């Protein structure tokens, strides 16, 4: 059944997501997304709910080089499930070009179609972070506006006990570069590099995680007239593609949400799957970026 933590996070986030979606009537610049406003909570990463997600190879027996993290065989997971991500940020301090933010992202995998086993959540990944953001003024790089530079420390874990526990801590540096082609067409590049903190030792749940998730990632985001957003998240051994189509293109019944299509191929879709390759294809709805 649904864990209390996952259910509470979802219920608490719904009002904020609805309010943020109502405000997101036009694509805003990357710099605006890191400018303090009167909103207590703002959208951070993608917010979506996939009603149907099909995995080519569900991870029935998660493993790790740490002997304490070998999960014994239990039962065969359903290849079809629901998947959703909640991601919000809050401005903490600073009113100028340098500001401090708190970010929170939760990625959940819900075996909704497994009625025989009471529709359990097979994985919930939690990612709180503290972000120092700086917005430079009038800086360009290769035809792109330099919108922000973020320095952050992030904890990423699935909140489980042994042998299912997976966790790591990182410090990262991320740049936000954006090019405006006019008529509502924008291309954003968000390169990020990170350094793992406190790796190794007998208590390391996943000592080889960097071999699969690497030391950074690159997000490319193309927005077209506020009607469609195509996002690609590239890592050393995986790619995730997300296409969000505005309700204006699909159906007015979606109101401020978009039809969302997602494809994942590689390693690390979730922490428990960090060292198992598979493909996932999903469809659902999403909230637009600010």
Catalytic option among 157, 224, 247, 278: 157
Report the alpha-carbon distance of residue 151 to residue 192 in Å, rounded: 10
List CB contacts of 129: < 8 A, sequence separation 6 or more.
102, 103, 104, 105, 152, 153, 154, 155
Distance of CA 150 to the CA centre of its chain: 16
In what helix (H) or strand (E) does residue 171 lie, and over which residues does it extend?
strand 167-182
Helix (H, G, I), strand (E, B) or coil at 212: helix
Residue 75 CB partners (closer than 8 Å, separation 6+): 60, 117
Strand 42-43 and strand 144-157: pairing?
A: unpaired
CA distance 71 to 69: 6
Set 54, 134, 155, 278: catalytic member: 155
Q: How many residues are given for the chain?
A: 290
Cα(95)–Cα(92) distance, integer angstroms: 10
C-alpha to C-alpha distance for 100 and 43, rounded to whole angstroms: 15
Contact assessment for residue 102 and residue 93, using Cβ atoms and an 8 Å cutoff? no
Q: Is 238 a catalytic residue?
A: no
Whether residue 155 lies in the annotated active site: yes
Q: Which residues are catalytic?
A: 155, 157
């Amino acid at each position: 059944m649904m864990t209390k933590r996952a259910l509470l996070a979802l219920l608490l986030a719904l009002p904020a997501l609805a309010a943020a979606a109502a405000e997101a009537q036009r694509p805003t610049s990357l710099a605006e997304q890191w400018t303090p406003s009167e909103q207590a909570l703002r959208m951070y990463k993608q917010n979506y709910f996939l009603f149907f997600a099909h995995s080519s190879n569900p991870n029935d027996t998660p493993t790790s080089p740490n002997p304490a993290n070998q999960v014994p065989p239990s039962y065969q997971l359903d290849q079809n499930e629901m998947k959703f991500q909640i991601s919000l940020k809050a401005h903490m301090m600073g009113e100028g070009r340098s500001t401090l933010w708190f970010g929170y992202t939760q990625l959940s995998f819900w075996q909704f179609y497994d009625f025989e086993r009471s529709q359990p959540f097979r994985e919930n990944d939690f990612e709180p972070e503290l972000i120092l953001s700086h917005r430079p003024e009038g800086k360009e790089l290769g035809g792109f506006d330099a919108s922000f530079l973020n320095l952050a420390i992030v904890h990423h874990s699935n909140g489980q006990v042994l042998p299912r526990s997976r966790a790591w801590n990182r410090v990262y540096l991320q740049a936000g570069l954006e090019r405006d082609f006019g008529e509502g067409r924008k291309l954003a590049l968000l390169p990020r590099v990170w350094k793992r903190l406190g790796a190794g030792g007998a208590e390391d749940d996943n000592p080889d995680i960097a071999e699969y998730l690497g030391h950074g990632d690159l997000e490319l985001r193309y927005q077209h007239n506020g009607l469609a957003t195509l996002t690609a998240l590239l890592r050393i051994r995986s790619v995730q593609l997300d296409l969000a189509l505005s309700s204006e293109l699909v159906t007015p019944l979606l109101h401020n949400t978009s039809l969302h299509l997602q494809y994942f191929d590689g390693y690390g879709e979730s922490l428990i799957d960090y060292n198992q390759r598979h493909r996932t294809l999903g469809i659902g709805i999403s909230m637009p970026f600010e």
